Chain A
Amino acid sequence: MIDLKDINKIYSSPGGDVHALKSVNLSIQKGDNVIVIGKSGSGKSTLLNIISGIDRPSSGNIIVNQQDLGDLKENELALWRGKNIGIVFQFYQLLPSLSVLDNVLFAMKLVNKIPRKLQKAKAESYLEDVGLASKLKKFPNELSGGEKQRVAIARALANDPSVLIADEPTGNLDSKTGEQINQIFQLLNEKGVTLITVTHANIAGRTYDQLVYIEDGILSYKSNPKVKLV
């Protein structure tokens, strides 16, 4: 489903070129639960940027659902991302001037993948799934951190993406709330959503299909399908 072939990413900086990703090859199958771990500055963000089409590789190809992202222009790439990729950020990144429901609806409206008539019902249903049915009209500043992250998940799911990318989704939450969020991700993955999660947190007790470890831009470890770490 997602194929990264010999990906290199080089950033130019006043201090010289920075080789953020070096000859990365990675294959993720539909429905996989992938956990990416690595130290700060190891290249995790660059990897996620490349997979989601936010950034382009300096060389190599990335093919998602038979679509070579290198063939897409800037706006086509944005539209593709909206339709195919859901992103959950560490700091929720909700739109503060829109209500909970509108944050989700707005994401739908941007790409119009979901028929207009169904958008509202579907957004309400996603919010119900994450336990926010009673807070549809609330604004982000009226929610707790955990609730905001749930809205962010509902929004990421708004366009029925085949891939959900989560960047430190529990990094800003207490352990109990973080656990609840992880359960939601788990549930989504069980429903067939491909899940790529970057985390610093302890992954003990989490199930995964692949565990990717990055160090200095090199994928040094890929592992073991459906292994539950203990």
Chain B
Amino acid sequence: MRVIISKLLKDCWLSKGKLLLMLVSAALSAWGISSMIYSYQMAERDFKVNFASTYPADIEVLIGNYQPGLEEKLLADLKIIDLERREVLGARIKNANGEWMPFVLYGAEDEKSVRLNVFRILENRTQEKGKILIETNAQFFLDDTKDSIELLFPEGETIKWMIGGTSHDPRLAPARMERAVFAHSTSLKLLAPHLKNGQRRFLIETNVSSDRQLLEEVSERIKKIAKSEGSEVLSLVIPTPGEHIHQNIVDGISFLQKSMGGIISLMGIILLSLILLTWVFPRISDLGIMKAIGASSIRLFYAYLMVLSLIILLGLIIGLPLGYETARAYNNLVAFVQNFEPVTDAFPFWIHLLVAFVAMLIPLTFAAFPLLKASKTTVQQAINKTFYLANKRIFQFSQRVFQDSSLKYSLNNLFRNSSRSLLMLMLVAVGLGLFLTGANLEYSVKKELENFANSAKYGLKVRFSGQMKQEEVSFIRDLPFVESISAMDDKTVHYKAPNAFHSNTRNLRILSPQHEIKEEFVLLGQVDKSCSDCLYISGEAMRQEFEDKQLGHKIELTMPSGEKNTFVYSGIFKDMAAIGSPFFAYKTSKLDSFTALAIEIKSDFTALEVTNGVDDAFLEKGIDVAGMINVNTRLGQLQGHLEPTYLIIKVMGLVTLVLGLLGLIIVLNLCIQERTRELGILKSLGSSFGKMVGLFRLEFFWIGIGAIFLSILLTMPLNAALCKVLGETVIYHQIPPRNFWSLIGLSSVIFLLIQYLLITAFSWFRIRKSANAMMAHQF
């Protein structure tokens, strides 16, 4: 076998171009596979170091009418092992551009006693005990020349606080994504004047943190203990164990990363197989000779396999570092979404060994097939070079369908090796399909959000800090940019959805009778303003929660007072701008007291103008506004969450497409090599190089057209699936899949043009060489 390997290595060295391409392909497959494994390892490590080390609380509870001694009573429960006070304060802050933004402050009792939901102090500018630390990623929004912040509290009070440094809490959403400024306080001293009397918020650690059912039971006991002590539980949240707040987006990115890694490795493997074919083909007759003089199929196969292993091993040297860096880039994105600080320490050596082993095994297994096929070639086949057989059915088909001999020639040639052509077709179609999917997905989401923004009656929603009366806000109607207003009363309600393990908390938005819901936004049922117990749900998550309910079924909601009200399930509303998908119900009489206002904007004004105008008007009247959001901003936020997804899919598609085009060139090279004799004939028959190039162009044009057709077929179900997933997890509403036909058309034309240029340039160079070489030995 040594002598065969030695011959094969010499062959390799003689075909340096192919050797280089094989190395590139081996590196590609190693890149894809290693990026997936490294990424998984990095994600696990980042999660452990960042999230798990914050000791996330199992239960977060807000107590009303707090009575001293409650902590001891709660800690007496066998399942509760720790309890820590952590208050949350909401205010508004003007960012460096002078725009209002939400400000959320988490206050710990003492920086030394932070045990749960731990935040790190990154920069300590003062030795004072109580200080305000700005979340490091939120500093971006603030004017860095100022050493203080000015806040507007819900009560209307404006306060200036010195910035004491910076902090980091990986459990929080990234400030840039949420467009909010987060901060921590190391003492409750500063917060105390703004906290509601009798309310206390606690973080609770249990010894049943991974068992949701047991956590539910502990929650019920907390409520009972609070009640027995004369307090009440105002809200109780059980964060999903082991999940980050943006776990859904992370899952999406991880899915894309795995897909990308999978596709790159697949491309690498396909390319490697193709190049192996081009390497083996000219040596088919050598194979015949070696077999004729005594080499067995198995010896030949193993010899080829050894050489292939060596090439893949060399590919690993390039592919593994690339895979590591790609995984690092992906995990940086994931870390950004999770507000993590990526761990950059080196992995233990065994992980690199594991990655190398897998990255070697997979391409070796797949690329061995062409070698096996070649080594099984009989002496007769090898000497006659009949390894590639013509596809007679296709020949007969083209004979019937086409009149033009050039068309027949190009199509028939394409199917002289059907599996290879099919492989190429798939390679290009997947690349183009992925790219189009990214574009179609972006188009589908944008169009859906745009349609909603254009059709939504109320362009601006204002949330107040407390209950308001109609007469207090009537001046808004007189503002020049306001068409109409509609009062809404938001109440926090608890409910247990069918089949749910635990109760959930959402807002119930009670609408005034004049509030209009456009017919197109009523996805199920009918609006009945005369029905006060009719309840409408919204959003995909709630649609799924209530999928077992039929219209007319009863739904029980626990009101803030603790009273249980029964409603009739009457339909589904679409309100993409509503945060948190609330329940909706109409009040049959005028809404005297309310917490929010929907404002219809006159068509001549922009949402931003009106937002600022309304804000100023409320400030002037001394009315405290807790939050204000216009439809465009809200939809922009949703769109912003999806930007990385579009980008990743498009990049994935483009990488695949580039690899596909590289594959096309490899196959073209193989075709020219196989048909050197034919090129000589064509030249002897009077064909110019241009015409010969034209024939190859036509042949590959079929692949291009086929790939475009297939890619469109591929993008439709893929886009529909992604619209469904992202609609459920990010937008919270169904996104009907749409096709961006003008972009599909343009992309197809550009793709064909690039293919045209590539095929022309490459085949011109190769055919000239081949045809001349052939002609020199023609007679």
Residues of A bordering B, CB below 8 Å: 44-45, 48-49, 52, 54-55, 74-75, 78-83, 87, 89, 93-99, 102, 105-107, 109-111, 137, 139, 141, 155, 159, 167, 198
Task: Specify the chain A residue showing the minimal Cβ separation from B691.
Answer: A110
CA–CA, A44 and B685, complex, Å = 20
Q: Can you list 15 contacts pairing A with B, beta carbon distance less than 8 Å?
A: A45-B779, A49-B779, A75-B690, A81-B685, A87-B685, A89-B684, A93-B677, A95-B409, A102-B408, A105-B405, A110-B687, A137-B399, A139-B395, A155-B685, A198-B779
* Contact of A109 with B399 at beta-carbon distance under 8 Å, contacts A75-B688, A93-B677, A139-B390 already known: no
Distance of B537 from chain A, by nearest CB (Å): 63
CA–CA, A85 and B180, complex, Å = 82
Q: Mark B676-689, 1 if CB is under 8 A from A, else 0.
A: 01101111111111
Distance of B647 from chain A, by nearest CB (Å): 43
Task: Specify the chain B residue showing the minimal Cβ separation from A84.
Answer: B686
CA–CA, A74 and B689, complex, Å = 9
Q: Which of B408, B413, B684, B778 contacts A45 (CB 8 A)?
A: B778
Q: Which of A44, A79, A80, A81 contacts B684 (CB 8 A)?
A: A81
Please name all residues of chain B whose beta carbon is closer than 8 Å to the beta carbon of A167 when the two chains form the complex.
778-779
CA–CA, A227 and B677, complex, Å = 37
Q: Which of B678, B680, B687 contacts A82 (CB 8 A)?
A: B687
The A interface is mostly helix, strand or loop, or mixed, namely helix
* B406 adjacent to chain A (CB < 8 Å): yes
Distance of A164 from chain B, by nearest CB (Å): 13
Since A137-B399, A159-B686, A167-B779 are in contact, a sample of 6 more A-B pairs with Cβ atoms closer than 8 Å, ordered by chain A residue number, is A75-B690, A78-B686, A80-B686, A96-B390, A110-B682, A111-B686
CA–CA, A198 and B680, complex, Å = 19
CA–CA, A110 and B681, complex, Å = 12
Please name all residues of chain B whose beta carbon is closer than 8 Å to the beta carbon of A79 when the two chains form the complex.
686, 688
CA–CA, A212 and B61, complex, Å = 110
B395 touches A109 (CB 8 A): no
Please name all residues of chain A whose beta carbon is closer than 8 Å to the beta carbon of B34 when the two chains form the complex.
none
Please name all residues of chain B whose beta carbon is closer than 8 Å to the beta carbon of A74 when the two chains form the complex.
688-689
Please name all residues of chain B whose beta carbon is closer than 8 Å to the beta carbon of A52 when the two chains form the complex.
684
Q: Which of A81, A93, A97, A106 contacts B416 (CB 8 A)?
A: A97
Distance of A152 from chain B, by nearest CB (Å): 9
Task: Specify the chain B residue showing the minimal Cβ separation from A107.
Answer: B685
* B776 adjacent to chain A (CB < 8 Å): yes
* B595 adjacent to chain A (CB < 8 Å): no
CA–CA, A92 and B778, complex, Å = 12
CA–CA, A189 and B357, complex, Å = 71
Q: Which of B399, B681, B688 contacts A95 (CB 8 A)?
A: B681
Distance of B162 from chain A, by nearest CB (Å): 82
The B interface is mostly helix, strand or loop, or mixed, namely helix
Task: Specify the chain B residue showing the minimal Cβ separation from A76.
Answer: B688
B405 touches A106 (CB 8 A): yes
* Contact of A93 with B408 at beta-carbon distance under 8 Å, contacts A48-B779, A54-B775, A74-B689 already known: no
CA–CA, A45 and B778, complex, Å = 8
B776 touches A97 (CB 8 A): no
Please name all residues of chain A whose beta carbon is closer than 8 Å to the beta carbon of B413 when the two chains form the complex.
97
**How many B residues are at the interface, by size bracket?**
20 to 34
Q: Which of B390, B409, B689, B776 contacts A102 (CB 8 A)?
A: B409
* Contact of A98 with B412 at beta-carbon distance under 8 Å, contacts A48-B779, A106-B406, A155-B685 already known: yes
Distance of A190 from chain B, by nearest CB (Å): 25
B409 touches A97 (CB 8 A): yes
CA–CA, A198 and B399, complex, Å = 35
CA–CA, A137 and B413, complex, Å = 17
Q: Mark B641-682, 1 if CB is under 8 A from A, else 0.
A: 000000000000000000000000000000000000110111
Task: Specify the chain A residue showing the minimal Cβ separation from B409.
Answer: A98
A75 touches B779 (CB 8 A): no
CA–CA, A83 and B413, complex, Å = 26
Q: Mark B374-390, 1 if CB is under 8 A from A, else 0.
A: 00000000000000001
Q: Which of A44, A54, A109 contacts B405 (CB 8 A)?
A: A109
Q: Most chain-A CB neighbours within 10 Å: which of B392, B405, B775? A: B405
A-B Cβ contacts below 8 A, count: 98
Distance of A82 from chain B, by nearest CB (Å): 2
Q: Which of A55, A83, A93, A96 contacts B686 (CB 8 A)?
A: A83
Ranked 5 nearest A-B pairs via Cβ: A82-B686, A97-B412, A45-B779, A75-B688, A106-B405
B689 touches A97 (CB 8 A): no
A54 touches B686 (CB 8 A): no
Please name all residues of chain B whose beta carbon is closer than 8 Å to the beta carbon of A49 when the two chains form the complex.
775-776, 778-779
Task: Specify the chain A residue showing the minimal Cβ separation from B681.
Answer: A93
Please name all residues of chain A whose beta carbon is closer than 8 Å to the beta carbon of B678 when the two chains form the complex.
93, 95-96
Q: Mark B405-427, 1 if CB is under 8 A from A, else 0.
A: 11011001100100000000000
Distance of A13 from chain B, by nearest CB (Å): 12
CA–CA, A114 and B179, complex, Å = 74
Distance of A212 from chain B, by nearest CB (Å): 15
Q: Which of B683-740 contact A (CB under 8 A)?
A: 683-691
Please name all residues of chain A whose beta carbon is closer than 8 Å to the beta carbon of B405 when the two chains form the complex.
98, 102, 105-106, 109
Distance of A200 from chain B, by nearest CB (Å): 13
A78 touches B683 (CB 8 A): yes
CA–CA, A85 and B390, complex, Å = 30
Distance of A47 from chain B, by nearest CB (Å): 9
Task: Specify the chain B residue showing the minimal Cβ separation from A161.
Answer: B686
CA–CA, A228 and B272, complex, Å = 62
Distance of A49 from chain B, by nearest CB (Å): 6
Task: Specify the chain B residue showing the minimal Cβ separation from A168.
Answer: B779
Please name all residues of chain B whose beta carbon is closer than 8 Å to the beta carbon of A111 when the two chains form the complex.
685-686
A82 touches B690 (CB 8 A): no
Q: Which of B97-153 contact A (CB under 8 A)?
A: none
Q: Which of B390, B404, B677, B689 contacts A75 (CB 8 A)?
A: B689
A54 touches B684 (CB 8 A): yes
* Contact of A109 with B690 at beta-carbon distance under 8 Å, contacts A55-B776, A78-B683, A95-B681 already known: no
Distance of B695 from chain A, by nearest CB (Å): 10
B685 touches A98 (CB 8 A): no
CA–CA, A55 and B775, complex, Å = 8
Distance of B763 from chain A, by nearest CB (Å): 15
CA–CA, A45 and B680, complex, Å = 15
Q: Which of A55, A75, A97, A159 contacts B395 (CB 8 A)?
A: A97
Please name all residues of chain A whose beta carbon is closer than 8 Å to the beta carbon of B688 when the two chains form the complex.
74-75, 78-79
Task: Specify the chain B residue showing the minimal Cβ separation from A105.
Answer: B405
B390 touches A81 (CB 8 A): no
Task: Specify the chain A residue showing the minimal Cβ separation from B685.
Answer: A107
Q: Most chain-A CB neighbours within 10 Å: which of B404, B689, B779? A: B779
B390 touches A78 (CB 8 A): no
Task: Specify the chain A residue showing the minimal Cβ separation from B683.
Answer: A78
Please name all residues of chain B whose beta carbon is closer than 8 Å to the beta carbon of A78 when the two chains form the complex.
683, 686-689
Q: Mark B184-203, 1 if CB is under 8 A from A, else 0.
A: 00000000000000000000
Distance of A64 from chain B, by nearest CB (Å): 14
Q: Most chain-A CB neighbours within 10 Å: which of B390, B680, B688, B775? A: B688
* Contact of A87 with B406 at beta-carbon distance under 8 Å, contacts A49-B778, A55-B776, A139-B390 already known: no
Please name all residues of chain B whose beta carbon is closer than 8 Å to the beta carbon of A81 when the two chains form the complex.
684-686
